Chains A and B, each alone.
Chain A
Amino acid sequence: MVKILLLKSLATDNAVSFLKCPERIESHSILKFEAMTETLEAPRGAPPSEGPPIATGTLEPESAVPLWAAGIAAVALLAVFALAMMPDAKPGAADQLTLPVLGLFAALFAWTPLQRQVAPQRDAATFAFCAALFVVYGLARRTVPESLPALHFNDEEYRFSCAAWCVFLGAVLSAPAWLKSIGGWMRALLGGLFILFVIALFSFKFIGGHYPTTSPSPIDPAVFVLFMMQTLEFAALGLCCASAAAHPRLRRLMLMALPILLWMVWARHHFAPAPIESEND
């Protein structure tokens, strides 16, 4: 039943039959309600075979997306999967539960007839990549070598992880792909992250103006810095997903590979777990 509903909602012409109706025009006035209840024909000026648009925003034709740019993004995402398999990732019970279930969801969308509905839609595929990668990236970003360059803020050092550098590079180099393929989902995601960015900046300035950020103060600047770093990282990750989903052939390939990649990360940590973190870490 769920599969049927999803097929229905994913179909781009889900309102085709909805708009087709007899040309008879009648009216009713039996109840008070009926005075406001009309029997109409299909809306004038609207082609009867056209349903409500599914994707928000206008997209460039997919043929205009360069394969090399989408490929760079795909490589960055594969690097994220590889980093998630590192011993530093140390997945918890929630990660160990989510990864195989996400793999099952991905298999449902990529290996069943649903694939014929999902694969042609850039937005649907981008969302699927983001849903999987947001979980995997949470593990991948735990690998932070000391040799990486550090940012300094309020006498504290902050480092972006290897995964962050991968997605930053991927997002920048694959710009020709995502610039032509920012659809409804990516606009919403970037819009949401931008709103959070503004709220964080405002509250840090506003509350920081009231409570001094120097010690002893209830305002911890690390909260603000880590928040901003992750906002940027997840925006870059989203852009990589958008780029990888921009090219039709690469999108199909990535969708097919997604369940296997998720199960690989799960299997790596399930069958060969890293040593348990000590309390002092």
Chain B
Amino acid sequence: MQKQSGARKIDSILLAILIVLMCSQISNFTLGSDKFERLGFATKPLFIAYCDVFLLLTFAWFCVRTTMLKAWNKIWWPPLPCWALIMAMVIAALHSPSVVNASIEHLHGIHNPVKILKTLMSQDAKESKEAIAEIIQFSMYFLIAPLVFVNLMHDRREGELISRRRLALHAFSGALLLTTLIAFLELLTSREAHGPNALFDSANAYAAFLALTMPFALAHILSIWNKPLPPFIATLVTIALAAITLISPWATLAIVIGILVAGALLKQASRAMIILGVLFAVTLGAWALSGSLHESRTNFLTVYSTYKHELKPGEEAKPVNASPDLKKQFIEWYAALGWSQPRRVAGSETGERSKNFGTGVGPGNYQLNIGPYYSSLPNEEKMPPDSNNLYLVQAVALGALGLGALLWVVLHFANLAVQARKKFPHDWLGAGILASLAAAAFVNLFHALLVRGTGLTLAFLFSLAVIAWLQGEGDSQHADDQSV
């Protein structure tokens, strides 16, 4: 038995804290000020979550330690699709007429590089600020986070291989239980009027997070079933609390899809049906309760908007028998298609027309551009937070190139999970990741997972796909047995 060095302990502690923090979106750091009243929604400040800050701290520690160990040639590097995605974002930013024209306007007469950077990130140059912020955010989620997660969970910088797979999975399970418990407490105390959101910014972001993570946790218990009992019970409690606190039926449906995929991959159809039965009973019970959430939940089941239009002076009211408008969530699906249409670029003196189907309107510029695409479609109601369609958001912002690159990343790691299933047939990890990705693919139609910081959890699942490929559970268990 060898005593662990202090640095190794720090690695383990940082990894565990990062995993716990990524199950939240608490953000006390902001960039810029809120100019909602003067300039509109799109100039709201950028929120930086604690998990993002902690990721950068962990990365800094990782860099220092890897340099000291002279181990840069021993570590795992993010694969080509991750770099391709960042490249697609850079091209989308450079090729966005609104970003480029606004930047040219703001940079007129400025030659100092520091001043150029400050101006591009300033509140007034909102197009370039959003683009730069989004590229940094995606670089963190698709390059830095997988690099840190994989190399800390499968650490061979000191020569020998240190596996922190079990530590990571235990921390993740604990964090999931904690998150759902917090949401349950919010439900009991009726703290959140629009539904429990745990430590997330909105109930929709919380729902998307659960849709991504629950199938993974359930794949684990489908695999181990009731041996050992404590994790089995803990996961059952987590799924029950999730079913009680979820208000989005789309997320619930995504979890069902995830369970079915996990059951099929692990060849545990009967166990999957039992879990589905429990989930169904708990969900039905929770929905039948006549609480403050009953209206929110019922509202989710209708395609019509409940928005009440305030009549302006001289305006005629809609006829009583006129059908109500559709929900803005669905109207925006059609409005977003307008990005393929030629449109005169604001501020362009040459009458330049934007036709960027290939590269989009620029990273982070979806909200700045979606308004004009509505044309004469109803656009009075405010969109509920985190209810965008991720595929359309990414397609409008990054174009076909960026959407393809994003899906390439997902397919690459899904393929790794498939390979891991073939390589270690008795390991559940690959099946869990595939189940989660299947659920995410569905829920992204209704709640964009990458828009508000839940990208770190996706990066963690990608990293687990690499870990599943590199080391099977059997090997890990075998090492345990020998050490005992």
Contacts and interface: CB of A to CB of B under 8 A. Distances in A.
Interface of A: 5-6, 8-10, 14-15, 17-19, 21-22, 24-31, 33-34, 36-46, 52-54, 56-57, 90, 92-95, 97-98, 101-102, 105, 121, 123-124, 127, 130-131, 134-135, 137-138, 141-142, 184-185, 187-189, 191-193, 195-196, 199-200, 202-204, 206-207, 210-211, 218-220, 222-224, 226-227, 230-231, 234, 238, 276-279, 281
A94 B95 contact: yes
Interface residues of B, number: 107
Contacts of A90: 352
Interface string B90-113: 010011110111001000000000
22 contacts: A22-B161, A27-B484, A33-B9, A38-B476, A39-B479, A41-B479, A42-B161, A43-B470, A92-B348, A92-B350, A97-B94, A97-B100, A124-B84, A184-B411, A188-B410, A189-B407, A192-B400, A195-B391, A196-B395, A199-B389, A203-B337, A220-B376
Nearest to A29: B1
Contacts of B282: none
Contact of B337 (A9, A52, A195, A227): A227
A203 B330 contact: yes
A223 B357 CA distance: 12
Given A38-B162, A277-B350, A52 B4 contact: no
A30 B378 CA distance: 63
Contacts of B205: none
B356 A138 contact: yes
A196 B80 contact: no
Nearest to B391: A195
Contacts of B355: 138, 141-142
A94 B97 contact: yes
Interface in B292-350: 323, 326, 330-331, 333-334, 337-338, 340-341, 345, 348, 350
B387 to A, nearest CB: 15
A135 B471 contact: no
A226 B359 CA distance: 16
Contact of B101 (A45, A93, A138): A93
Interface of B: 1-4, 8-9, 12-13, 16, 73-84, 87-88, 91, 94-97, 99-101, 104, 154, 156, 159-167, 170, 323, 326, 330-331, 333-334, 337-338, 340-341, 345, 348, 350-359, 375-378, 389, 391-392, 395, 399-401, 403-408, 410-412, 414-416, 419, 423-424, 445, 466, 469-472, 474-476, 478-480, 482-484
Contacts of B4: 28, 30-31, 34, 37
A54 B409 CA distance: 11
A276 B2 contact: no
Given A27-B483, A230-B340, A277-B351, A138 B358 contact: yes
A25 B77 contact: no
A14 B3 CA distance: 31
Given A26-B483, A135-B91, A279 B412 contact: no
Contacts of A234: 357-358, 400
Nearest to A124: B80
Contacts of B470: 15, 18-19, 43, 46, 52
Nearest to A96: B100
Contacts of B479: 25, 27, 38-41
A203 B221 CA distance: 38
Nearest to B445: A199
B480 A223 contact: no
Nearest to B373: A223
Closest 9 CB pairs of A and B: A27-B483, A134-B358, A189-B404, A92-B352, A188-B408, A36-B167, A36-B166, A188-B407, A33-B12
Contact of B84 (A185, A187, A219): A185
A136 B109 CA distance: 30
A33 B79 contact: no
B407 A191 contact: yes
B407 A92 contact: no
Contacts of A46: 423, 470
Nearest to A277: B351
Nearest to B12: A33
B423 A92 contact: no
Contacts of B389: 199
Contacts of A53: 415-416, 419
B404 A185 contact: yes
A134 B359 contact: yes
Contacts of B160: 21-22, 24, 26, 39
Nearest to B420: A52
